[in-house]
Amino acid sequence: MLLLGSRRAARAGARSTRSLEPNSRVVTIVLLPGMDGTGQLFSELEKALDPRVEAMVVAYPADAPLSYEQLEMFVRERLPSDRPFFLLGESFSGPIAVSIAASTTAHLRGLILCCSFVTNPCPWTNALRALGSVAPVHAMPLALLSRMLLGRFSTLENRLALRRALANVSATTIRTRLGAVLGVNVARLLARVKVPVLYLRASEDRIVPPSASRLISEWLPSVRIAEVEAPHFLLQVAPVAAAEHINGFMLELVGL
How far is the CA of 128 from the CAs of 120, 135, 139, 143, 179, in angstroms? 13, 10, 18, 22, 10
Q: pLDDT confidence of 11, banded at 50, 70, 90? A: very low
> Would you say 153 and 230 are in contact if contact means Cβ atoms under 8 Å apart?
yes
How far is the CA of 178 from the CAs of 19, 46, 70, 142, in angstroms? 35, 26, 15, 18
For residue range 192-223, list pLDDT tens digits in order: 999 999 999 999 999 999 999 999 999 999 99
Instruction: Give the global pTM.
Output: 0.87
Between CA 101 and CA 86 the distance in angstroms is: 10
Percent of the chain with pLDDT over 70: 83
pLDDT at 26: 86
For residue range 138-174, list pLDDT tens digits in order: 556 677 888 889 999 999 999 999 989 988 899 899 9
Query: What CATH code is assigned to 2-254?
Result: 3.40.50.1820
For residue range 31-54, list pLDDT tens digits in order: 999 999 999 999 999 999 999 999
| Range 85-114 average pLDDT | 96
pLDDT at 124: 55
**In 3-state terms, what secondary structure has residue 55?**
strand
Q: pLDDT confidence of 25, banded at 50, 70, 90? A: low
* pLDDT(19) > 60: no
Q: pLDDT confidence of 122, banded at 50, 70, 90? A: confident
Domain boundaries, the chain: 2-254
| Range 102-131 average pLDDT | 81
Percent of the chain with pLDDT over 90: 74
pLDDT at 134: 46
* Between 65 and 136, the higher pLDDT residue: 65
pLDDT at 8: 37
